[in-house]
A and B are shown apart, each in its own frame.
Chain A
Amino acid sequence: MAISVFNPADISPRQVANKSEKKALLDAIRMTLGVQSAAVRRNTQTFNRNRYVATGLLADYNELKDRARQIKEQSIANLPQLLRQLEESVHANGGHFYLAKTAADANEYIREVLLRHKAKLVVKGKSITSEETKLNHALEAAGISVAETDLAEFILQVADEQPSHIIAPALHYSRERITALFKRTFTTDLPLDSGEELTKFAREKLREQFIAADAGISGANLIAADSGSIMLVESEGNIRMTTTLPPLHIAIAGIEKVVPSRTDFGVFLELLPASGTGQPLTSYVSILHPPLKAPTFAAPGKEAANGREFHLVLIDNGRSRMRDDPVLHEALYCIRCSACLNSCANFETVGGHAFGGETYSGGIGGSWEAGTGTLSNARFSELCTACSRCVPNCPVRIDIPWLNENLRQRMNQAQGSSPVKFLFGGMTGSAPEDCVAPLQKQFFGNYDAFGKWGTRFASLANASMHLPGSRSVMQSAFGIDRRRALPAFPKKTWERLYDEEKGAKQSPLQPGVVMLADVFTNYGSPERGMAAIHVLRAIGLDVMLSPAMPDGRAAMSQGMMETARRQARAIAPMLRRYLDDGRKIVVLEPSVLAMLRFDFKHLLDGDGTQALLAQNSFEPLEYLWEVAKQQRLDLAQTFPASRCPHGTRLFYHSHCQQRTCNSASQTVEVLRAAGFDVVTSSVECCGMAGSFGYKRDYYELSMAVGEDLFAQVRRADQEGGPRTLVASGTSCHEQLSAGMGRQVFHPAELLMSTLK
C-alpha cells in the first residue's frame, strides 16, 4: 500500500509501526514531526528534568546503580535456576505458574484460563509485555472483552495505536488531541476540554468495568524467586483495582523480570520511579505474593466468588536467545524505567512512533525488537546517534549505544556485499568484514581517508564542492543532504601547523601532555587544535602533538565494528607509549575522548591499556582547570576576558559525550575564572551528532532537534544582545552555525585571543 508522504496527519501510527522497510521509518519521522512532536517534547523533557532532580536526592545513587546492575547480572546468569525456584514459590503460595515459550503460547494459556472461568470482561493494568504478545487481540477473538484501565492504554485502545513510550504509552497525545479523539468516539454532551474532565469521564466509564470484571490482568515490574512476590508500580490506582477486586488475577511478564529475593526489591523500588517519572515514589507500589488472602469483592447484585485464583504467566519469546547473545544479553538487564528515552534528544523530538517499533522504543528498544522479533524490526535504532546521554542515566548501566552500533553492524551484514561496496571499502580503509556496509556508512566511517585526501588536495577538493552538480552527486551517492554546508578542508593539517612552529616544539621525553591529533581536528579544524596547544602552553605546560591516527569513533558510529577494532588496536599502543613516558593525554574532540574513556573497553584486549588510557586522558580545559586548581593559578591574569576581541558575554554549549565524560563543567569554570559571563545550554544534544545531521534522511529531524538549542540561544540573546557562541565539539559547531548563522568558537580559541 502506498503511503501518502504529503500530509503527515494522513499517516497512522499503526501503518508505520513495523519499520523493516526504510520508507516506514522515514514516513514515521515525517508523521511524528508534523503531529506529535510538541506533546512528546513537553512530556519527555518534563520527565528528564524531574529525573535529574530525583536521582540527585538519592544520596547513594551510584551505589544503588552498582547494586542494581549486580543483581540483574546475577539474575540473568542464574535465570534457569531462578525460574525453577519461582515456580515452587508460586505453587507454595497457592498460585499457578506457566512458562510460555512464545507470545502465542502465552496468549493461548491466558485465553484457556479465562474461558474456564467463563470470563466475559477482563480489566487490565498497563503491561507492555502484553502489547508484545498482542494479548488483547487474542482475547477479543475469543469473545472476551478487554478494558484497558491505565488511562494512557485506554487512549491507545480507543485510538488503536501502539505505545510510544514504555511508561507513558500515550505521551504523544496532547490534551487537545485526546479531547478530539474522545469526542469522535463517544457520544457525550460533556465538553471534555480539560485534563480533569477527561479524567473524570474515563474514570466513570472504567469504574463500572472494575466492578463488573470477571478477571484482572496486570504486568509485574519485578518478581522474586524466593517468595513468588511481585512488585507493581503505578500512580492511578488501576493496578490496585485490577489486583484487588476481581477473584481471578493473572500477571504476565517477561522472564527477565525475575530477581532472586524480595529483599532485592528495595534497590529497584527507589531507582525505578526516580529514573522514570522523576518521583521519589509513585502513588502506589504494591508488593504482593498472590493469591491475596483478603475476601473477594462481590459486585452489587452478584454472588461473591469462592476464593481467589492467581496465575503467573512468564514469557520467553526470544529472551533465552537474547541471553545467549554476546551483545543483546545486556538488554535483559533493562528495568523499563524510560530514562534512556527521556534523555535522548532524538527521542524527545519524535517519540516512540518514529524512534520505535511495534512495541518497544528508544535507544534500548532496538535490542528488544530484534530480540523478541527479527533484526529488521530494529531499523529504527538508526536514530541512536551514540550521543551517550542515556548511559550515565541508565539505572543498570547498560551501554545502549554499544548495543545499537552492534545492531547496525548486523544490519549492514544482512544487506549483502557488492563489488562497488568492496572496491570503495578497500580504497577508503574499511576492514574486509565491513565492506558489506552501504556506501554512505563507509563514507562517514572512513572519515580519516577523506580527510587525508581532502587536505592534501584542499583547493581542488573545496573547489569541486562548488562545481555544478557536485552536491547532487554527494546526495545521491552518499545521501549527504545538500542543504548542509560541508566544512571546507584546511590547506594545512594540525600536524603540519604544529611542525611549522618548530621553535616551540619540545622534547617528547620531557613529562607534560601530549595532544592526540584526532582526525576530526587534524583534517577539519586544525586552528582549534593549535589554539588548545597555545592555551595549555600559556599556563606553563609542555605540550606536544601525537601523530594523527583514526580512533575508531567514525567507523563504530556506522556499525563498522571490525574497522573500529583495528583502529583502536593501532592507536592504543601509540598513546600508551606517551603514558609510559609520563605524559597525560589531552583530547580536543569530545567524541574521541569518550572512545578512550569508555568505548575502548569493548574494542581492546584486556591488557590494562584501556584502564590506563581512561584514567589519564582529559579534555583540554578540564586538564587546564585541574592544573589551575592545584597550582592556584590566577586565570584572570593569564587569560583576561576583557582582552577578548569577541566580547565577554558567551553562550556555551558543551558536547553530549563531553558531559557523559564529566568533562564539561570545567570549561565553564575556566571561562568564568577568566572573567567571561557564561550562559550554558541545557539540551542533551545539538542534534548534529557527527554524521547524523548530514544524512539526507535525517536532516529535518536533526534541525528539529537543534531548534531547542537555537531557542535557548535566542532567549539568552534577549537581554543585552547577541552572545558570542562557544562550543567544544566539531558537530556542535556545524549545527550552531547552521541554526544561528553566526560564527562559533572553541573555548580554547577565545582563551587564546586574550593572550598577549
Chain B
Amino acid sequence: MLQVAAQVSLIEQFTDSAIKAVATVEVIDRSPAILRDATLRAVGDAQRILYAPPHDLPVALFSELVKDPRVVAEATPDEMVHSAAGVTEAFAGVARTGSVCVDVSYERTGMVSLLAPLQIAVVAAETIVPQPRDLFRADMLDGKGLTRDFVFVTGPSATADMGPLVRGVHGPHKLHIIVLR
C-alpha cells in the first residue's frame, strides 16, 4: 500500500518536472490498444513514424501500434532523416528532473530517438527513480545504469548560443513521454 502511494507521488513529481523541462506527458493504462491510441494522438498527422522495438518492455505492448501503416521499423537511411516522429522505449525515468533514460546500445534506438523532430518515449511507471544519481546504483533498476550505453533525455534539444533560448536544435524539437501505469 505504502509502495503504491510512493509510486503515485513519483509519477506526479516526474510529470511536473518533465513539464518544467518543456516535455509533454501522458499517463496511460498498460494495453497495446491504449498505447497505440496515445502514440498516434501525439504524432498527429505525421506521415512516417520511426520505431525501434523495445528490449525491456514486452514487444507485445507495441503490437497494435506497429500495425499502423505509418510506423516503420526498418527505415532506409533516407527515411531515417526524413521522418516526423520517432518512438522508442525508455528503461528508466527520473522524478526530480523529468528525464527519461534511453538505451542507445542496440538496434537503432539511438538514431530513432534523435533524428526526428518529435521524440516519443515510452516509460514504465515502476522504473521511475527519484534522482539522476540513482542510475549509478547497483541496487536500483538491477544496476542497468551501470552497464548500459544510455542517454538521460530531459526535454527537447535547446540552445542559447544564438542569443535567445531556442528549442529544437540538432536533436528533437519536441519530447512527448508516455508513462505506463
Rounded to whole angstroms, the CA-CA distance of A502 and B94 in the bound complex is 67
Min Cβ gap B163→A in Å is 3
Please name all residues of chain A whose beta carbon is closer than 8 Å to the beta carbon of B110 when the two chains form the complex: 240, 244, 292, 294
A198 touches B163 (CB 8 A): yes
- Identify which of A238, A241, A284 gathers the most chain B CB atoms within 10 Å of its CB: A284
Which listed residue, A263, A266, A279, A299, touches B77 by the CB 8 Å rule?
A299
Cβ of B59 within 8 Å of any chain A Cβ, yes or no, is no
Please name all residues of chain B whose beta carbon is closer than 8 Å to the beta carbon of A302 when the two chains form the complex: 77
A283 touches B156 (CB 8 A): yes
Contact residues on A (Cβ < 8 Å of other chain), bracket? 35 or more
* Chain A residue with the shortest CB-CB distance to B165: A195
Q: Which of B30-38, B64-72, B144-152 contacts A (4 or more CB under 8 A)?
A: B144-152
B158 touches A235 (CB 8 A): yes
Please name all residues of chain B whose beta carbon is closer than 8 Å to the beta carbon of A279 when the two chains form the complex: 154
Cβ of A289 within 8 Å of any chain B Cβ, yes or no, is yes
Q: Which of B3-11, B41-49, B130-138 contacts A (4 or more CB under 8 A)?
A: B130-138
Which listed residue, B114, B134, B148, B159, touches A235 by the CB 8 Å rule?
B159
Rounded to whole angstroms, the CA-CA distance of A194 and B166 in the bound complex is 10
Cβ of A673 within 8 Å of any chain B Cβ, yes or no, is no
Min Cβ gap A451→B in Å is 48
In residues 281-320 of chain A, which contact B (Cβ within 8 Å)? 281-290, 292-295, 297-300, 302
Contact residues on B (Cβ < 8 Å of other chain), bracket? 35 or more
A236 touches B169 (CB 8 A): yes
Cβ of A211 within 8 Å of any chain B Cβ, yes or no, is yes
B157 touches A283 (CB 8 A): yes
A294 touches B162 (CB 8 A): no
A284 touches B157 (CB 8 A): yes
Which listed residue, A150, A292, A299, touches B161 by the CB 8 Å rule?
A150
Q: Which of A168-176, A356-364, A381-389, A458-466 contacts B (4 or more CB under 8 A)?
A: A168-176
A283 touches B106 (CB 8 A): no
Which listed residue, A43, A152, A178, A236, touches B171 by the CB 8 Å rule?
A236
**Do A294 and B108 contact each other (CB < 8 Å), given the known contacts A211-B81, A280-B96, A287-B145?**
yes
Cβ of B111 within 8 Å of any chain A Cβ, yes or no, is yes
Cβ of B97 within 8 Å of any chain A Cβ, yes or no, is yes
* Chain B residue with the shortest CB-CB distance to A202: B162
Min Cβ gap A228→B in Å is 11
Rounded to whole angstroms, the CA-CA distance of A264 and B135 in the bound complex is 11
Main DSSP-derived SS at the B contact region: loop
B170 touches A238 (CB 8 A): yes
Please name all residues of chain A whose beta carbon is closer than 8 Å to the beta carbon of B156 when the two chains form the complex: 283
**Do A199 and B151 contact each other (CB < 8 Å), given the known contacts A168-B161, A263-B146, A294-B105?**
no
Cβ of A237 within 8 Å of any chain B Cβ, yes or no, is yes
A152 touches B161 (CB 8 A): yes
**Do A300 and B78 contact each other (CB < 8 Å), given the known contacts A206-B170, A236-B159, A236-B170?**
yes
* Chain A residue with the shortest CB-CB distance to B105: A293
In residues 1-39 of chain B, which contact A (Cβ within 8 Å)? 17, 21
A198 touches B170 (CB 8 A): no
**Do A237 and B105 contact each other (CB < 8 Å), given the known contacts A43-B160, A211-B81, A286-B151?**
no
* Chain A residue with the shortest CB-CB distance to B107: A294
A266 touches B133 (CB 8 A): yes
A284 touches B162 (CB 8 A): no
Which listed residue, B77, B96, B166, touches A199 by the CB 8 Å rule?
B166
B151 touches A287 (CB 8 A): yes
B137 touches A263 (CB 8 A): yes
Which listed residue, A150, A264, A281, A289, touches B132 by the CB 8 Å rule?
A281
Min Cβ gap B104→A in Å is 6
Cβ of B99 within 8 Å of any chain A Cβ, yes or no, is yes
* Chain B residue with the shortest CB-CB distance to A271: B133
Cβ of A196 within 8 Å of any chain B Cβ, yes or no, is yes
**Do A283 and B162 contact each other (CB < 8 Å), given the known contacts A292-B149, A294-B104?**
no
A281 touches B108 (CB 8 A): no
A281 touches B97 (CB 8 A): yes
B160 touches A175 (CB 8 A): no
Min Cβ gap B53→A in Å is 13
* Chain A residue with the shortest CB-CB distance to B119: A237
**Do A207 and B111 contact each other (CB < 8 Å), given the known contacts A262-B136, A297-B77?**
no
A282 touches B132 (CB 8 A): no
In residues 710-749 of chain A, which contact B (Cβ within 8 Å)? none
A240 touches B171 (CB 8 A): yes
Please provide the 7 A-B residue pairs with the shortest distance between their CB atoms, ordered closest to farther: A237-B171, A175-B163, A266-B133, A266-B136, A151-B161, A237-B170, A237-B157
List residues of chain B with CB under 8 Å of any chain A CB. Answer: 17, 21, 76-78, 80-81, 94, 96-97, 99, 104-111, 114, 131-138, 145-146, 148-166, 168-172
Instruction: With A178-B162, A270-B133, A294-B104 given, name 6 new contacts (CB 8 A).
Output: A195-B164, A235-B169, A240-B114, A280-B17, A280-B154, A297-B77
28 contacts between A and B (CB under 8 A): A150-B161, A151-B159, A174-B163, A194-B164, A198-B162, A227-B146, A235-B157, A235-B169, A236-B157, A237-B172, A240-B170, A263-B138, A266-B134, A280-B96, A283-B153, A283-B156, A283-B157, A284-B151, A284-B153, A284-B157, A284-B171, A285-B132, A286-B151, A289-B149, A293-B105, A293-B106, A294-B104, A294-B107
List residues of chain A with CB under 8 Å of any chain B CB. Answer: 43, 149-152, 154-155, 168, 170-171, 173-176, 178, 194-196, 198-199, 202-203, 206-207, 210-211, 227, 235-238, 240-241, 244-245, 262-267, 269-270, 279-290, 292-295, 297-300, 302
